[in-house]
Amino acid sequence: MARTLSLLIFLALLASACAPSLPFSDARTIVADGNQLLSSYPDGHIDKAKWPQAIAALDPEHVYATPEGLYICTRELFVDQQGFFVPRPGASIPYSPTGDPSYTPLRDGLFTYHIRG
């Protein structure tokens, strides 16, 4: 029983560490749609009804804008959060996969992010 429980806990931790992914062809559309949202909504949560189709297709839990860029949250558990990030044009983003938050370049101006809280 203890061995099964340990295996289940390990698999849950492994699944929670996976970064989000998407088809290559969608990255440019998500960046363009993200920049459009950033120009319309400079700060705060963005209502689901306002999400462009490419962003809604990611099935995010929520989307919000900050002075740094657009966060598309695809997974959130307590204070831990992951998803996609579209930086504002000219914003300086640390390309560190180990910081908190961490940003990892994905493609075409799109990043994955992870906030550990």
What is the per-residue pLDDT across 77-97, written as a single tens digit (0 to 9) for each?
998 999 999 999 888 876 666
Confidence of residue 1 (pLDDT cuts 50, 70, 90): low
The reported pLDDT for the residue numbered 22 is 61
pLDDT at 109 over 60: yes
CB 85 within 8 A of CB 72: yes
Closest of 27, 21, 77, 72 to residue 46, by C-alpha: 72
**Residue 30, by phi and psi: left (phi above 0), alpha (psi -120 to 50) or beta?**
alpha
Confidence of residue 6 (pLDDT cuts 50, 70, 90): very low
